């Protein structure tokens, strides 16, 4: 038979093993949480770097009325509709020549082709991503959900201004909208 000493050695060892395993299990749970923490981290990183083309917040010096007429930037417009939204949607002009610091207005045309009222939500994106930090919209149909009656058509305005500190190497900026069916998010 086993003597008493080794048996207690063994239970001590088993307890030590369980303690180590428990600590490692905490690491596992923490890393599972870290996976979720990557979501807000990613959002913060996108805001700082313009990654993903999210448009920037209005910079203080962007709206002081001073216009940099020495630079002319080409702004291109794109419009896309999700396959789940039965709408027609496109910009009314394909592109504009703009000066940084001046506010411009353009419109997008949208028409509900379905026989039912539908609600859409537009998501903007600016390329190249570094320019998105300097692209400010003062008025946009993308700020709120848009409800369209059956067959209704509208011209929807966008007012925007390019900040004067737009990096010098950028001469073309593309603004793209995708309309999604906000009632169907799957």
- Per-residue contact track with another protein, 70 to 99, x per CB under 8 A? ------------x-----------------
Phi-psi category of residue 151: left, alpha or beta, with phi > 0 → left and psi -120 to 50 → alpha: left
- Say whether residue 42 binds another protein (CB under 8 A): yes
Q: Which residues contact 18 (CB under 8 A, 6 or more apart)?
A: none
Q: Contact with another protein (CB under 8 A): which of 25, 93, 117, 149?
A: 25
CA distance 29 to 82: 37
CB atoms within 10 A of CB 106: 19
How far is it, in rounded angstroms, from Cα 44 to Cα 31? Answer: 20
- Minimum Å gap between C-beta 33 and another protein is 8
What is the β-pairing status of strands 73-81 and 172-181? parallel
Return the biggest CA–CA distance within the chain: 96
39 lines the binding site for another protein (CB under 8 A): yes
Q: Is 176 in the site for another protein (CB under 8 A)?
A: no
Q: Report the alpha-carbon distance of residue 176 to residue 17 in Å, rounded.
A: 57
Counting residues that bind another protein (by CB under 8 A) gives 44
Q: Which CB atom, from 52 or from 56, has the smaller least distance to another protein?
A: 52
Report the nearest approach of another protein to the CB of residue 168 (Å).
15
Contact between 57 and another protein by CB under 8 A: the answer reads no
**CA nearest neighbour of 50 among 113, 119, 134, 165:** 134
CA distance 128 to 116: 37
Q: Is 147 near another protein (CB under 8 A)? A: no
Q: Is 130 in the site for another protein (CB under 8 A)?
A: yes
Residue 21 Cβ vs another protein, minimum distance, rounded to whole Å: 5
Residues 146 and 119 sit within 8 Å (Cβ to Cβ)? yes
> Least CB distance from residue 69 to another protein, whole Å?
29
- Using CB under 8 A as the binding rule, whether residue 11 contacts another protein is answered as no
Interface contacts to another protein, rule CB under 8 A: 1-3, 5-6, 13, 16-18, 20-21, 24-25, 27-29, 31-36, 38-39, 42, 46, 49-53, 82, 121, 123, 127, 129-130, 178, 180-182, 184-186
């Amino acid at each position: 038979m086993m003597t008493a000493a080794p048996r207690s050695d063994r239970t001590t060892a088993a307890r030590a093993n369980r303690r180590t395993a428990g600590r490692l299990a905490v690491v596992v749970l923490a890393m599972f949480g870290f996976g979720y923490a990557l979501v807000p981290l990613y959002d913060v990183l996108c805001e700082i770097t313009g990654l993903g083309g999210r448009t920037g917040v209005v910079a203080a010096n962007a709206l002081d009325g001073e216009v940099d007429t020495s630079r002319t930037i080409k702004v291109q417009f794109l419009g896309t509709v999700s396959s789940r939204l039965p709408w027609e949607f496109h910009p009314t002009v394909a592109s504009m020549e703009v000066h940084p610091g001046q506010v411009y207005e353009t419109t997008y045309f949208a028409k509900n082709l379905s026989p039912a009222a539908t609600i859409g939500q537009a998501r903007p994106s600016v390329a190249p991503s570094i320019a998105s930090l300097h692209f400010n919209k003062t008025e946009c149909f993308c700020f709120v959900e848009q409800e369209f009656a059956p067959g209704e058509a509208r011209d929807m305005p966008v007012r925007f201004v390019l900040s004067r500190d737009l990096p010098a190497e950028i001469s073309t900026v593309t603004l793209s909208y995708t309309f999604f069916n906000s009632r169907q998010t799957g």
